[in-house]
């Protein structure tokens, strides 16, 4: 009888430990999905505000520090631009909006992104089909500031339209 009580106790402990572990993983998955959803919303908002030339809303999506970067590599035109620091990025985008005030057609909103979370930071990659520029592969470095995800780094590689005539 004593062996049965010991075996039952060990079995119940094993089950409760396993259940606790599964619940912990479920919470981590739920938190991950919440963070991914929040990041996705920022990325789609940044694209929407940039393409519609809404400067005030666009800048709210970015970290405003000296360490932020923005890089474009456009293979079809052999153009590479690198902008370093919030001041330069802000001035570049503000001037671009003034020189090109007409909105661009919006790409379809992102639905799927690859996300790697690192505390208050995230590494995000995705592809998007831009109606004017064609296929783009994007990498974004995100930083969570005051519970809000913001863009701290952006690298865009533009491959162009599949059937673009030269």
In the chain, domain spans: 2-160
Out of 2.102.10.10, 3.30.70.980, 3.10.450.50, 3.90.1580.10, select the CATH number for domain 2-160: 3.10.450.50
Separation of first and last alpha carbons in the chain: 86
Across the chain, mean pLDDT equals 86
What is the DSSP secondary structure assignment for residue 46, as one 8-state letter?
H
pTM: 0.79
Residue with the bigger pLDDT between 64 and 18: it is: 64
Q: What is the pLDDT of residue 116?
A: 96
DSSP track, 89-141: HHHHHHHHHHH--SPPPPPPPP---EEEEETTEEEEEEEEEETTTEEEEEEEE
Q: What is the pLDDT of residue 19?
A: 45
Residues linked to residue 80 through DSSP beta bridges, in sequence order:
73
Over residues 120-127, mean pLDDT: 96
Q: What is the pLDDT of residue 24?
A: 43
- Is the pLDDT at 8 greater than 60? The verdict is no
């Amino acid at each position: 009888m004593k062996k049965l009580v010991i075996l039952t106790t060990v079995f119940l402990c094993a089950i409760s430990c396993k259940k606790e572990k599964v619940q912990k993983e479920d919470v981590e998955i739920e938190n991950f999905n919440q963070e991914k959803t929040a990041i996705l919303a920022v990325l789609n908002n940044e694209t929407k505000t940039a393409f519609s030339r809404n400067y005030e809303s666009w800048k709210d999506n970015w970290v405003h520090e000296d360490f932020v970067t923005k890089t474009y590599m456009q293979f079809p035109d052999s153009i590479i631009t690198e902008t370093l620091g919030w001041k330069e990025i802000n001035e570049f985008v503000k001037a671009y909006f003034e020189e090109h005030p007409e909105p661009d057609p919006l790409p379809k909103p992102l639905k799927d992104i690859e996300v790697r979370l690192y505390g208050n930071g995230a590494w995000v990659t995705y592809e998007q089909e831009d109606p004017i520029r064609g296929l783009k592969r994007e990498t974004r470095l995100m930083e969570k500031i005051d519970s809000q995800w913001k863009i701290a780094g952006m690298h865009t590689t533009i491959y162009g339209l599949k059937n673009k005539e030269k």
